[in-house]
Amino acid sequence: MSIKKNIGFLIGGTALAQLFTFGISPILTRLYTPKSFGVLGIVLAASSIIAVFAHLRLNLAIAQSNNINEANIILKTSIFFSILLCFLSSIVLIVSNIIFDNSYTLIIVIFIFLISLANVLIDIFNYWQSYRNRHSLNARNSIFRSLLTGFTQIILGTITNFGLIFGVLIGGIGSLALFLKEYMSLDNKKGNSILSNKKISFVLKKYKDFPLYSMPQGFIASASLNSVPLMLGASFGIAVAGQYWLAYRILLAPIALIGGAYRQVLHPIFSNKKINIIEKKKICNTHTILLILFIIPMVIGGVFYLENIFVFLFGLEWGVAGLFAGWLVLCFSLDIIKVPMTCLALSNNLQKDLLISEIILGILRFLTILISLSYKDSVFSIKMFALVSMIFTILNIIYINFKIPSRRMKL
């Protein structure tokens, strides 16, 4: 199947899922308070940070495996570390005492553990199905998860303040169940053996660059983004964290839609050794330009009109979320544009370069938020965060673009 058809499958399925998520947001903002969204934001922020490092980014190695049996070993190794690291990480999250009352601590940690485990396993199976060219299954699963999450959140809206979190958890469990059902059926037919220490050692040795470089890179990137609601909640209250999370939730839709589809399709293609670097670079540049042309109108419209759009759709109390979104669109749009270049860099063993750039960006983001919080203005803090992220990401895209051909010429 062609690149356009694969991306079309994933974007089409994810588009329906994200449109549904966006469509019910005005309902959810009237069922739940900014504080409820703040609690959801804290839980998902912590879950996202854990989910990035729990599988050691070995899910990315699935695309580079030589055959289906090796891909299956990588998948099982990823699952093993995911369960282990999610469990070990949950104890660290007692820091939620800083934000929540003591009576909420245990249930919040349980939510974080379960949601992070579901998310990381779903991420692994997404790459597994992409390796097998089962993009339609990923698309259908994305729609099912969104529908199950949304309807659960609406139903529980008048019952409990934790309805938003329960919805995310139930949606994740339902999606994971579908993946497991399909995988177990395939696994039984192939009669694959149980994972052993020898197989784990094989994966860690052959694909060591992913846990050594890609995992820290992803962790730093996730931590620099997801620490924002944590810091806003600690400095301005949980309701402000909720305002940020709604803005993040709405902007995340196109990022997940386009970025996720491109990663799942382009990474296996760029990892294909039969395609020469010139052709790969041509594909990368073509899709980067297309993304820029697609994103620019959204960014311009977002900067000038998102505040009014948020007030109109979600209510007057969500105006601050619109202000946040108007600035965040500047940096989040670049997270989409950089995807083709990042995929090409990963397939050309530039994990070290990506890690170094992510460390620098993470430090800049953290220092920017930390310093700007002293001005006691949450909108100013987000503004500075967005501008610093945007400028650095542009420079990094240019650097990686020139780094790839020079790196290949030396081989």
The residue ranges of every structural domain in the chain are 3-409
CB neighbour burial string for 203-215, b if at least 16 within 10 angstroms, e if fewer: bbebbebbbbbbb
Could you report the per-residue pLDDT of 98-146, keeping only the tens digit for each?
555 555 577 888 899 999 999 999 999 988 988 887 777 777 888 889 8
Q: How many CB atoms lie within 10 A of CB 19?
A: 14
Residue matched to tokens 């839709």: 253
Q: What is the pLDDT of residue 244?
A: 92
Q: What is the pLDDT of residue 401?
A: 79
Cα–Cα distance, 27 to 22 (Å, whole number): 10
Q: What is the pLDDT of residue 167?
A: 95
| CA distances for 66 relative to 46, 370, 385, angstroms | 34, 45, 42
- Tokens representing residue 61 in the block: 């190695």
Is residue 246 within 8 Å of residue 40, measured between CB atoms?
no
Cα–Cα distance, 210 to 215 (Å, whole number): 6
Low-confidence spans in the chain with pLDDT less than 70:
1-15, 92-104, 186-193, 253-254, 256-258, 260-261, 264, 405-411
Q: What is the pLDDT of residue 166?
A: 95
pTM of the model: 0.76
